[in-house]
A and B are shown apart, each in its own frame.
Chain A
C-alpha cells in the first residue's frame, strides 16, 4: 500500500513535468516574440525584452501592405458574426425539429443527420464555384454566409432540448408566451452548456479556418489573420520575430475563449462519447 502511494506521487510529478513540457512550445513562442532577433534561436531566457516585433507588425506591415491589425479585426468580425448566428439559428432550428411535432420537422431532423455524414472538404470546391458565381470572391460575405447555419449545432441543440420536459413549454404557452420567447427565455438558458459548447467549437473552428479563406480571399484588406499570417510567412520568412509575434496574436483569442469556457469543453468531450 505504501509503495503504491509513493508510485502515485512519482506519477503526479512526472505528469506535472509533462504538462510543462506540453506548454513549452507556447512558452518559447511567447518569450521569442519579445526577444531581440539574434536571441530567438540561441537563448531560451531573453537577455532583454523588446517590443520591436509587435511594433513591426503594428506599423511597418503597412509599408509591406500586410495590414495585420485590419486582419485581426476581420477575423474578429467574421468569427463573432458566425458564432452568434450559429447559436441563434441552431437554437431555433433545434427547438423546431425536436419540440414541435409535425412531419416536416422530422424530415429535416433526418436530413441534418444525413448532412453530417459528408466531410466538409467534399463541398469545398463546389462551394468555391457558388461563391464565384455569386460574385462574392474577396468579400466578407464569402467568409460569413456559408457558415451562418450549422447542421452540427442544430443537432446538438435538438439533442439537448429533447431532454427538457414539455411541461415547461406548455406552461409558458398558457401564460401567452410566443415561440421565440420560449426558445430564448426558457430553452436556451436550460441548455446553456450546449450553447457554450456550440459557441466554443464554432468560434475556434471559424477563427482557425485556413483552407476556405485561402481560397476565396486574395485581397489583403479582407483577409482573416490566419491567411495573412501564412502569406506573410511565405514571403517574409526571414522576419522570424514578427512571424512569431503574429502567431501569438493569432493564438490568443482562441486561448482566451477556451479558458473562459473550459468547463464546457470537458463536457463537450464526454458528450461526443455518447
Chain B
C-alpha cells in the first residue's frame, strides 16, 4: 500500500519536472550556451559567429568608454550607498519612535517604491526640468535655479536622489524589522550599566543591526550595476557620458552598434564586477550576530 502511494507521487513528480526541464533547457540552457558562444566570438546577427578567443575581453579592458562607465558606477555608488544607508537608517530609527499614523507613513514611503520605472523617470524629468516646478520654486524663494540633469556631476546626484526617493521605504522597513528584532533586554542592561544614548547607538544598535545594514548595502550595490531606465529616459547617458551605465552601454552596443558578442561580454564583466564588490562588502563589513 505504502509503496504504491510512493510510486504515485513520484510519477506526479516526474510528470511535472520533465516539462519543467524541457522548458528550462530551451529558455535557460539555450541562452546560456549562446552567452558562452557570444563572448568568445565576433558576430553581427547575420553572418556565422567567428571565433575570437579572449578578444572581446581584451577589447573591453582597452575600451575607454568601459573605464568611463566604471568611474561613473563608482560615482553612482559614492552618492547612492551613503544616501540610502543614512536615509533609511534615520527613517527606521524615527519610525520606532512614532506615536500614531505609522501605517500611513509606511504606506507613503512604499508607494514611492511601487512606482513604475518609466512613469517616475518621466515624472521627475519634468518635475526637475530646467524651468520645471522645483526650479521655479527655488527661483521665487531663493533666487537661483539648479541644473539638475544638465550639469554632469549634478545629473549623477539627481538620479541617485530619485532612486533614493524610490527605495527608502523598502530599505527603511528592512532596517526597521532589524531594529525590532533586537531584544529590549540588551538596551535595559546597557542603561543599568549607565551607558549614554550615543554609546548605546554606536556600541549596541549599529553592531546588532549589521545583518540588515549589509542586506541593504548589497541590494543597493546590485541595483546600481543594473541602472538602466533612469539614464536611458532622462539623460540619455549624458551630459559628457557621465550618467552612462553598464546597462545602457550594453543595450546600445547590442542594438545601435549591432555587436551582440561585445554586449554580452559587457554583461558578463558587469555581473563579475557586481559579484566581486558584493563579496568584498561581505568580507570586510559582515559580522556574525547572535542574540544570547
Contact = CB atoms under 8 A, between A and B. Distances in A.
B174 A272 contact: yes
| B contacts with A: majority SS | helix
B158 to A, nearest CB: 13
B208 to A, nearest CB: 14
A123 B35 contact: yes
A129 B13 contact: no
B20 A273 contact: no
Interface residues of B, number: 87
Interface stretch (B64-72, B77-85, B99-107, B198-206): B99-107
Nearest to A10: B97
Interface string A127-143: 11110100000000000
A23 B17 contact: no
Contacts of A250: 116, 118-119
Contacts of A266: 106, 173
B23 interface: yes
Interface string A91-102: 011001100101
Contacts of A265: 110
Interface stretch (A12-20, A59-67, A157-165, A187-195): A12-20
B27 interface: yes
Interface string B142-180: 000000000000000000000001001110011001100
A45 interface: no
A270 B17 contact: no
B190 interface: no
A113 interface: no
Nearest to A93: B20
B74 interface: no
A28 B31 contact: no
Contacts of A229: 118-119, 122
Given A121-B270, A125-B267, A247-B119, A25 B110 contact: no
Contact of B28 (A104, A115, A129, A173): A115
Given A22-B112, A119-B274, A179 B94 contact: no
B254 interface: yes
B154 to A, nearest CB: 19
A168 interface: no
A51 interface: no
B136 interface: yes
Contacts of A19: 101, 104-105, 108-109
A50 interface: no
B177 A146 contact: no
Contact of B123 (A211, A227, A247): A247
Interface in A234-267: 240, 243-244, 246-248, 250-251, 254-255, 258-259, 262, 265-266
A207 B105 CA distance: 25
Contacts of B132: 41
B136 A11 contact: no
B88 to A, nearest CB: 12
Nearest to B246: A121
A76 interface: no
A20 B112 CA distance: 11
The 6 closest A-B pairs by CB, nearest first: A126-B31, A19-B108, A126-B34, A247-B119, A179-B12, A100-B13
Interface of B: 5, 8-10, 12-14, 16-17, 20-21, 23-24, 26-28, 30-35, 38, 45, 94-95, 97-101, 104-112, 114-120, 122-124, 126-127, 129, 131-133, 136, 165, 168-170, 173-174, 177-178, 211-212, 215, 222, 225-226, 228-229, 233, 247, 250-251, 254-255, 260, 263-264, 267-268, 270-271, 274
Given A19-B101, A251-B120, 10 more contacts: A26-B112, A28-B133, A102-B10, A119-B222, A126-B264, A148-B23, A215-B254, A230-B118, A243-B126, A269-B174
